[in-house]
Every structure is written in structure tokens, then in C-alpha cells.
Amino acid sequence: MATEESKFYHLAGILVADGGATKTSWCFSGKGSSTERFSTGGINPFFSTTDDLIKEWKQSPVVRLSGKVDRIFFYGAGIINEDKAQGIKKALEIFFPEAKAEVQGDLLAAARATLGNESGIACILGTGSNSCQYDGVKITAHVPPLGFVLGDEGSGADLGKQLVACYLKKIMPQPLREEFFQKYPLEYPEFLNRVYHHQNPNRFLAGFVPFLAENIGDEFCAKLVENAFDAFISRNVEQYSTARSQPICFVGSVAFHFQEQLKKVLLKRNLSPGIVLKEPLEKLVDYHIQFSNG
């Protein structure tokens, strides 16, 4: 008969989470069992309390994993320091008292997912943008992204901001302007109200990126995307000392859907394109199975 200890060892495994603003994607990989994937609500380290997280997880598939997990790796947007990680880590330790938990930011998730234990430059191009220099273990240099007002070059918010500005200033070619209005029948005051007087203007602006994707064959749209990526590369990636000798890797929906334009800009600047992932979770699970102890 199996002892309680041996049964626990058989069931024990790793739980990896990728927490974003709108949803958190989870993947459990148990020893001797298949992986299990599911989603819960988004997290905000600035507002989500330990009690909030525990209450939500009790109503989600997370609750089924109690007693089956010995290592947890939680990555999240907005986890910029140890203080922001503590609330999430405390919730994990209460929910999984038998497990060892590690809580890190989404930038390290991008680096581990794309580079594993190799060195290189890891970038995020989604609603926002970010980048870092990675030595195969830790982040060694970081250019601050500054948000969509001062930075976030090449992000969905940045692309949307430029697209809307070109539409309102009538820089956009007329046929495209007509198509844009058919898809988004908003008047000038409505655009300004949504950007300057509503919450999450970055998400509002990023919502126009599908128009660029649908019309990427148009020279105007292709050039807008390429110029935004060029700004991201010059103001962020090229600030790292190893940029010209290492692969430049990306995570995020914007990078994934505009890979052709991204690769074109990198090659034009004599940089080496690396792996591009829409989401990091699957590769993070592979990374922790291969490189994590315990």
C-alpha cells in the first residue's frame, strides 16, 4: 500500500500562471499525469488584495489543485518589485500551504519563455511594450517603458494612438478613412472623451489594432506599423550593450500578428530576430519542467 508521502509525490507537480489585467492563464503539470489548463480573472498588484485573490480562486478550477502542487511560478503584469509581489505570494501560500511559490513580473516570464537559460534580449509587445537584457538567469538591464503617454513605443496602445491621430488629422488616405469610419462610427468629441476622460485609454486605443491587421497590405498601414516598431527598437532595444550580438525575442499579440513587419525592421537595423510568441505560458511550463528543481 502506498504511503501518504508516496501518494503526495505521485500527485505533486508544478503550477504556472501568467497573470494579465483581464485574465490569468494557468497550467498545472502533475508528475505522471497530463497537463491541465484553465483561466481565472485578471490581477492588478496595485489593487488586488490577498483576500480578493483567495475568494476568487475558491470559485475557480484552482481549488481542485489543493494538495497536488509542490512548486508554483506566478508571473504578472505590474509586479515591478518585491512589495507588489507580496500580496499574490501570500495568497498562494495560504491557498497552497504545501507548495513553494515564486512570484515574478511578466518581463522575466517573457525572457524565460523565449530564451530559456540562454542570454539575449526579451521584449513584450502587447497593449503595452517592455524590454530587457537577460543573461540566462536574471534580467541584467532594463530600459523603462514609461507607459503609453511617454513611451510604450510599438505597443497596441501606441499603434492605436497613431492610427486615431492620423484619422482625425486627415493624414490617413481617404479610402481608408471611409473604411475606418464604417468600422468605428465615432465623432471627434467621442474620441477625445474616451481618451481623456475615461478609464483605461490605453486599452481603448489598442482596440483599433485589428484595423491595422486587416489592412496591413495597404502601404499606409504597413508603414505606420514599421515606423512604430523602428521607434521601439531604437529607443529601447538598441540601448542594450548586447543588442547586436544576441537574438531579439518577443512575446505578445502585437509582435505575433505583425511578425513580418517586425522582422523587416530588425533586419534593416542589422539585428537578429529571435523567437516570437503570442503568449508565454506553454513555454514557461517547458522551462520549469526542464530547469526547476524540487
Q: Comparing C-alpha atoms, which of 162, 165, 141 is closest to residue 153?
A: 162
- Euclidean distance between the first and the last CA atom of the chain, given in angstroms as a whole number: 25
Supply the pLDDT for residue 292: 62
Rounded to an integer, the average pLDDT of 67-88 is: 83
pTM of the model: 0.85
Residues in contact with 100: Cβ distance below 8 Å, sequence separation at least 6, in sequence order: 70, 71, 72, 294
The tens digit of pLDDT for each residue in 268-278 reads 999 999 999 99
Q: Comparing C-alpha atoms, which of 102, 77, 226, 84 is closest to residue 159?
A: 226
Q: Comparing C-alpha atoms, which of 71, 75, 73, 74 is closest to residue 100?
A: 71
- How far apart (Å, rounded) are the C-alpha atoms in residues 44 and 19? 9
The tens digit of pLDDT for each residue in 16-56 reads 999 887 788 999 887 666 688 888 887 777 777 888 888 88
Supply the pLDDT for residue 293: 52
